[in-house]
Each structure stands twice: as structure tokens, then as C-alpha cells.
Structure 1
Amino acid sequence: MREVRELTAPVVGFFKRRHDPVLEQTLRSAFAATVSYVIALRLSPEAAPLTAPLTALLVVQVTLYATLTTGFRRVNSVVTGVLVAIAFSLLVGLTWWSLGLLIVASLVVGRFVRAEEFVPEVAISAMLVLGVTTHGDTAWARVVETLIGAVVGLACNLLLAPPVWVEEAGQSIEGLARRVRQLMLRMGEEAAGSTPVHRAAERLHEARRLDHDIVEVDAALRQAEDSLRLNPRVREGLLHRVVLRTGLDTLEICTVVLRVLARTLTDLAKEREPDPLFPPETGATVEQLLSEVADAVVSFAVLVTTSVSSNAESAEERLATELRQASATRDKLAQLLLEEVQRDTRHWQLHGAVLTEVNRILDEMDTEHRSQRLFEELDRNAREQCEKLPRITAMRERLGRNQTGAAGRPR
């Protein structure tokens, strides 16, 4: 059996790589560039019309939405630069001072035509065209090649559906949740014993560094959101976007609260040094509570990144069970801290802060709270859609009233 697995491993790996978004994007870009070059060879007077494959390579972005939004701006910037170069070639030609004027004029015109992030490409196109000898023929050939590359790039994204980056975004979210879990486990282990101030401060710095991880996950999620827009592979793109976005928002709030909890434990370590942060029984309960909350964070991430309904139901049940267990441990810790405060009232603010911060994390991951947040986001997106397309919304309402009236009239 082992030999069979070893023999079939390359085949299994090949089929897995076939669905790799990075591999799909690479093949689509190479295909679009090659096709655009072949077409440009027949339509352009240039011997090596490399502008067409270059434009196709730049237009075939990671997602169809990005292609449609950036492709037209890119074509606009290139054509504008070519037209500016034609004007300069007819008036002054190429000199050191005309090159400087060309760059300034191209950047200014690029702002006026709203090329946005492709403003430098206006100047680049103008310089490339102005630097050749046969100005007019080369300029119009560059326009033709640019249009060929843009059309081929857009056609490839329409005919060959771009990859969906939801799985990669889900992996990023789960990776963030697991890093949060590891930090909470270390904080719990140290809270159960004698924690030096410098070690508690290290955990605080780790919690602060989670902000950089959130930025990376947010970038992956934005890419996934763009891949869901206008993609024929996805039927419920809005729902997927809202689920992932609200899930990341919840994890971000949890990391902020975790940073505050780390600061509370650091302050408590300063106050109680060299004594332990908590008595033995209380410290063990804190460790247990943070361990259960850490497991719930991972289960929450699995829930928001699960697409199959049956798996989502099991993940939701597991999360609900872990939250109930963590709530019971939280109540036990509250009783122990109350008894500790009754014996010694010096650190009651810090003890109360620990409970408050844990309560906030549990409340953010509560299933009812999450369902309410999802409904609110869906309603907000629906309202924004109605505001953006008022005519279509009014037409839908009119059709709905007409259908209702027709159904209510007797035959």
C-alpha cells in the first residue's frame, strides 16, 4: 500500500497543482501574452511588436474585477502617452530639453485623464515612442499593439475564468487564529506560575506584532473579495465576502483585546514581583480559561472559512460547545478572584480587567452576536447597492408590484 501511495503521489500532486491559483494565473498570463503577440505580428508593421504581449501581461490581473477596473485605465494611459509623443515629435523632436518637457507634460496630462496609478506609464509610453526615428508609424503601431494586448487580456479573463482566492484567504485567517492561540497558551502557562516582568513584557510585544499579521491577512482577503466579484465560478459572492470580512473583523477585535489583556498581566507582574501573578488554584484556572478561549478562536476561524454547509454546522456546534465550556471556567475564575479580592484588595482593578477582557473575546465570538453582525452587513450592502443603482432598484420594485397586482386580479 505504501508503494502504491509513493507511485501515485506525483499524479495526485499534479491534479492538486492544477487548481493552484498561482499556477492558473501564470498559465493564463503566458497564454494571453503569446496570443496577443501572434495577433500583433499580423496587424502591426513592427518586426517585433512586444507592446502587445506586454499590455496583455499587465491587463490580465489576478482577478476579473481587477482586470476590468485597471485594464481600461492602463489602455487609457498608454494611448495618452502615445498621443503626447506624436505631438512632440511633430513639433520639436527629441532633445534633452524636449525630453524634460515631455515627461512633465505626460505626467500632467495623465492626471487630467485620470490614469490614477498608471500616470507614470503615460510618460513611459511617450518616451519610448519619442525615442524612435519613424515617429508617426511607430506611434500608431504602438496604439494598435496596446489595443490588441488589452482586448486579448480582457478576452482571456472573460473566457478563462480567473482563479478564486477564497481558500488562500481562509488559510491566512486560520493562520492568524492559530498564532493568537499559541500566544494565549503561553500567556496562560506563565500566568499559572511566577512570571518575571520582562517575560510578561515579551508577550505584550508579541501581541502588538499581531497587527502586522492582520495587515497581511487583510491584503489576502481583499484579493479574495476581488476574485469573487464578477466571477462566473461563484454564485453567492456577496455572502462569501461578508462572511470572511466579518470574521476577520472579529479576529482583529480579539487581537486588540488580547493586547490589552497582555498589558494587564504585565502590570500585574510589576505589582506582584517576585510573587506569582495568582494563587495556585486561581493561576491554574486562568491557564485553563485561556486554553479554552484559544481553542474557541481557532474553531471560530474554521467556521468562517468553511464553505460546505455540513462542515459549517459541525464547526458551529464545536464552537458553541467550547464557548459554553469557557464561560463555565470564566464563572469559576470570577468566584476565585472575588475571594482573592476579599482577602487582599490591592489589585482588584487588574483582576477585574482580566475578567472584562476575557468576556469581551467570548462575546465577540458568540454565535448569536455573529449572526446579527452578518445580517447587518448584508442589509448595509443591499442599501449601498440600491443607492448606487437607483434606476434598477426602482424597476425591480415596479415589476414586483405589477406581478403582485396580476396575481391578485381574478381571471
Structure 2
Amino acid sequence: MDARTTASTDGLSLGRLGQWIHEAVRRPEFTTDALQIVKTVVAATAAWWLAVYVLESQMPFLAPWVALLTVYPTVYQSLLRGAQSTVASWAGVGVSFLIGNYLGVGLWTFALAIAVGLAASRLPWIRDEGVAIATTSVFILGDGFTEQQPMLLDRIIEVAVGAAVGLVVNLLIIPPLRDRQAARYVDYINLRMGRVLITMADEFRSSWDTDRADAWTWEIESMETDLSSAWQSVRSAHESRRVNPRLHLHGPIRSSQSGGSADYDEILGRVDEGISHLRHLARTLREATYAEGEWDTRFREQWVEIVRSAGHAIADPDREVESIDERLAELSADLSADEHLPQRSWPLYGSLITSMRLIAVVVDDVASAREAREG
């Protein structure tokens, strides 16, 4: 392999890496995850600073530890799970002090503290964060308990400080509204659907094979994964709007037509239908690679332009395109009047036209859904 070949291969690898990074950054959850990391770092660092420089704690790790446990994706979760973490940590402090003061710190008492903590963590009302009982006991007993004999009240205060800092940070630093994330998911999936249609049109114009059809199918299956994440985001939307100060600054998303809130269940249901129709279209084109005979030139050219227009309309709902449904109706009428069109071609052409007519309905719904979300 010469230097030019090596450079070309390296350039291709870097290009793929850059494309992967670009796609990863554009994914809807990237911003949410990045913000969650920032908030957690800020909360833990602030709690550590308070423990060291304000409380002058002998065990400054308790406050940042609880702060880490408190910063959840939504404010409601931070309140609920933060309260559980605080109670569990207080219980862990109590267990460690009882065992440390009355039984001492040794191999079997260390094991006893963990066993008691894990058993208590099975309580239904604290089960989600109950393991903090055992971990807090491990931290305190394993950090030189017998030498330091730290005050019980100080440890309780540090735990409370950590929980308070975590909650305050989640309240102040852009509390998440998951309906915004759901909106980004919808736009992202629509963009991918549009790109697949445009790619289909470009490749179908010249030639295509089963490998290309398989690539389309893989992309569509990947969309279904994103759609599952979108459904999960929608299910979390109501929770994210509880105890959220941003609601005083931003009113609920309204529909410009009905005046009601955007129905993401309905919107994602329509997107799900669009993906289903797109999958059927890709399967039909894949099976058509084995069909005998030549494609009708007029059908191929007109259908390709319709598919490309539909792709642009879904990827960019603000873009002006001619009516997809009307163009499909005209294509059907022209072909039905053609006496020279082979009879065996109609089932295939009819299936492709039907799939695109169903997708055309989704094209209209995409624009309506955006109006509902942005109205």
C-alpha cells in the first residue's frame, strides 16, 4: 500500500468519524445529556466547597455524594428521589454510628453495616434510593471512624446540604421541559425520513440493487429506535412540567388552530405510521430488483420527482412544493390511459403509488404538527 492509498484511507476514516460525531451531536438527547452532566458537576462541586470551606467538615465527601444522587433529569424526580436519597443517607449515617460506637469497626461489623443497609433498602417507600443506606455506611466506617469519631449532627447537616444544593442547581440551571425534547425528536425523525426519500429518488433514477435497499431498511429501523426514545420522552413530559419554574416564563405549547396543547401522542402516532409506510416502500423496491422487464421510463421519471419532493417536504416543512397527492393522481390517470403499459407492471406501480399517497398524508401532517408545536 503506497502513501497515497494510506492517506486516502486515513482521510476516509476521519471523514466517517467526523460524520459520526456530527450525527451524534445532532441527536435530540445530546443537549439534554450534556446539560445534565454540567448540572451534576456544578452541584457536586458546590456541595464540596460548602462542606470544606463553610462547614469545615471532617468528611467533605458526604455533601457532594448526596448532591450527585439528587440531580435527576426532571425537577420532580429531584424532589422525590432527592428526598429518598436524603432519608437513606441519614439512615446510613445512623447505622454506621450505632455500629461504630457500640460494636466498633472490624471485619464483621463492617459486613453487618452493609447487611443492615441492604436489608433496609428493600423498604417499598425508599427502594429506589435505598442502597444509599449501605453506601453511606461504607463511606463513614471506611474513612477512619474510630480515629475521627465525627459528630452525628454534623453528618446529618452535610447530607441535607448536599440534597439542597442538588435541588437548587436543578431548579436554577435550565430545568428541563421534556416536551421540548419531544419536539426535537419529531423534527429529527422527520429530517431522517426526508433524507431517505431523497436518497431513494436519487438512486432509483439511475439504478439500485438489494444492497442499497437493505441500507434504506437499516436506516428506517434506526428511526424506529429514535421513535421509541421519543415515546419515552413524551411519557416523561408531564413529569417534567411538575414543580418547574420555567412554566412561569414559558406558557404551555399551544395549537394555533384549536388553542389546546400539542398532542404528542397523536403526533408521534402519525410519525410511526409514516415510518411504517416508508418501510413498506423500501421492501417493495427491494423485491422489485428481482422483477423481470424494464421500468416504464415515464413512470420512473415522474415517480422519482414526486418522491424527491415528498422527501424535501418532510425534511423541511417550510419548503414550498407542489401537492404530492395531486401529482400522484395525475400519474395514475396517465398510466391507466396508456394501453401499451404491460399488465404485469400495474401491481408494482400501484403499490409504489399507494405507498407514496399514504406518505403524502404524513407530509401534510408534519406541517400541521409543527404549527401545533410552534403556535
Q: TM-score of the superposition, structure 2-length normalised?
A: 0.71
Asked if 1:286 corresponds to 2:299, the answer is no
Residues of 2 paired with 1:341 and 1:106: CA distance? 82
Residues of 2 paired with 1:271 and 1:36: CA distance? 68
Aligned to 1:237: 252
Asked if 1:133 corresponds to 2:145, the answer is yes
Deviation of 1:147 (Å):
0.8
**For 1:75-224, what aligned pairs fall within 5 Å after superposition?**
75-89=86-100, 92-131=103-142, 132-134=144-146, 137=150, 140-158=153-171, 162=175, 170-215=183-228
Residues of 2 paired with 1:26 and 1:209: CA distance? 26
Residues of 2 paired with 1:345 and 1:102: CA distance? 80
Residues of 2 paired with 1:332 and 1:72: CA distance? 64
**Structure 2 residue matching 1:270: 3-state secondary structure:** coil
Describe the superposition over 1:344-365 as per-residue Cα deviations: whole angstroms up to 9, x where unpaired. 3435444333233223222234
Stretch of structure 1 that moved more, 221-230 or 61-70: 221-230
**For 1:3-402, what aligned pairs fall within 5 Å after superposition?**
29=40, 32-33=43-44, 35-37=46-48, 39-41=50-52, 46-89=57-100, 92-131=103-142, 132-134=144-146, 137=150, 140-158=153-171, 162=175, 170-215=183-228, 227-234=240-247, 235-237=250-252, 239=254, 242=262, 246-272=266-292, 275-276=293-294, 278-300=295-317, 315=318, 322=321, 325-336=323-334, 338=336, 343-346=341-344, 348-367=346-365
CA RMSD of aligned residues (A): 4.0
Describe the superposition over 1:32-53 as per-residue Cα deviations: whole angstroms up to 9, x where unpaired. 4455445545885733523113
Which 5+ residue runs of structure 2 have no aligned equivalent? 1-30, 256-260
* Structure with higher helix content: 1
Which 5+ residue runs of structure 1 have no aligned equivalent? 1-19, 301-314, 376-411
- Cα 1:76–1:280 change in 2 (3 A) is farther
Residues of 2 paired with 1:198 and 1:35: CA distance? 54
Aligned partner letter, 2:220: A
Count of equivalent residues: 333
Stretch of structure 1 that moved more, 200-209 or 263-272: 200-209
**Structure 1 residue matching 2:290: 3-state secondary structure:** helix
Identity of aligned residues (%): 23
Aligned partner letter, 1:133: F
- The 8 Å contact of residues 282 and 333 in structure 1, kept in 2 or not, is answered as yes
Describe the superposition over 1:115-166 as per-residue Cα deviations: whole angstroms up to 9, x where unpaired. 3443433321121223242497455533221111112332344456536576
Residues of 1 paired with 2:131 and 2:296: CA distance? 64
